[in-house]
Amino acid sequence: MQLHKCLSPAKLNLHLHVTGKCSHFHTLQMLNVTINFFDELCFEFLPDQYHHIDTDFVPNFQQIGKNNLISRAYAKFCQQNESMPALKVSINKHIPPGSGLGGGSSNAAQALLFFNHFFPLYSHEQLLRIALDLGSDVPFFLYGKTAVVEGIGELIKFLDLKLQNWWIVLVTPGIFLSTAEVFKKYDELIHFQHDFEAETIRSFEHDLFPLHNDLILPAISLQPLIADLLQDLKNSGANDSSMSGSGSSCFGMYDSLEKAEKASEILTKKYTSVRLAKIIS
């Protein structure tokens, strides 16, 4: 039985603006990057079986059920291939769910790319549509490049911002935040009811700082610890700090390794999950 392994990166939202609502979905404008923080996926074909997938997550987070995004991606291929072989997918899960780092979406994108490599059923455009059906972050992870992502995840514009010289200190505080609950709280706080109208794309090439995330206030209202964490990151010497996605992970950006290492040392005294990271795209 042949094994196929790949890495599945986390993402950070350096900017996240809620731009409207369309068919019950919030529309966004985001500046997304991937970082060198990975889940590890191992695909194994099972002989003499068809249309069955076994996903094994280690550790086994209770928020991840059998109808996870990898299983749903596999089902899309079974619909078009009567002889789709059975698979076992082992996921060494470093990126925690509910952390705003897109781990599940990243896993789904890697699965789609793997399935379509061995069973090329879909064009790139079709694969993007399937990715969007699975989740708004999945299309971005098919590329994994620095990009402005808009709408409900379907509009992707790549940027060459030369961000690899920045150091990231990432803190995942062990708090699970439901994306749906954060957006619900956003609506309660902002009373944002108007229909989506296209807005001018912000020029992130010249306006990286200050970092911004419209979901910070609703996330803090659900988990006040996030306010302390963002302030601790700023106090540690970050050029700026923010929250990724709908939380709960927060990060600081530092213009030197020395500053980032010093900040990491300080933050480790208070938080259990602190890591140095680099932007990889």
* pLDDT tens digits along 31-71: 999 999 999 999 999 988 899 999 999 998 877 877 899 99
* pLDDT mean across residues, the chain: 92
Q: What is the pLDDT of residue 65?
A: 78
pLDDT digits (tens, 9 = 90+) for 163-187: 999 999 999 998 999 999 999 999 9
Query: Can you give the pLDDT at residue 64?
Result: 81
**Residue 124 has which token pair?**
């790139």
Name the H helices within the chain: 69-78, 103-118, 124-134, 138-143, 179-190, 216-222, 225-235, 257-268
Mean pLDDT of 106-122: 96
CB 243 within 8 A of CB 206: no
pLDDT the model gives residue 261 = 98
Residues contacting residue 214 through CB under 8 Å, at least 6 positions apart: 16, 17, 18, 186
Q: What is the pLDDT of residue 60?
A: 82
Q: What single-letter DSSP state applies at residue 60?
A: -
- DSSP class of residue 19? E
116 vs 48, more confident: 116
The pLDDT value recorded for residue 66 is 78
Rounded Cα distance, 55 and 81, in Å: 20
1-41 residue pLDDT tens: 578 999 999 999 999 999 988 878 899 999 999 999 999 99
pLDDT of residue 198: 43
Tokens coding 26 = 């919030």
Residue 203 has pLDDT above 70, yes or no: no
Please state the pTM of the whole predicted model.
Answer: 0.93
Question: Can 137 be counted among the known catalytic residues?
Answer: yes
Residue 206 has pLDDT above 90, yes or no: no
Higher pLDDT, 48 or 221: 221
Domains contained in the chain, CATH given: 3-158 (3.30.230.10), 167-278 (3.30.70.890)
Catalytic residue selected from 76, 137, 185, 259: 137
At residue 194, the pLDDT reads: 45
Taking 80 as the threshold, does the pLDDT of residue 102 lie above it?
yes
Give pLDDT, residue 1. Answer: 56
pLDDT confidence tier of residue 207, bands split at 50, 70 and 90: confident
Cα 246 to Cα 41, 252, 253, distances in angstroms: 24, 16, 18
Residue 255 falls in the annotated catalytic set: no
| Neighbour tally for 151: CB within 10 Å | 18
Whether 155 shows a pLDDT value over 90: the answer reads yes
Buried/exposed code over 27-55 (b: 16+ C-beta within 10 A; e: otherwise): bbbbbbbbbebbbebebeeeeeeebebeb
Which residue(s) pair with 170 in the sheet? Answer: 251, 275
Q: Please tell me the predicted confidence (pLDDT) of residue 202.
A: 61
The amino acid occupying position 157 is K
Q: How many residues does this entry show for the chain?
A: 281
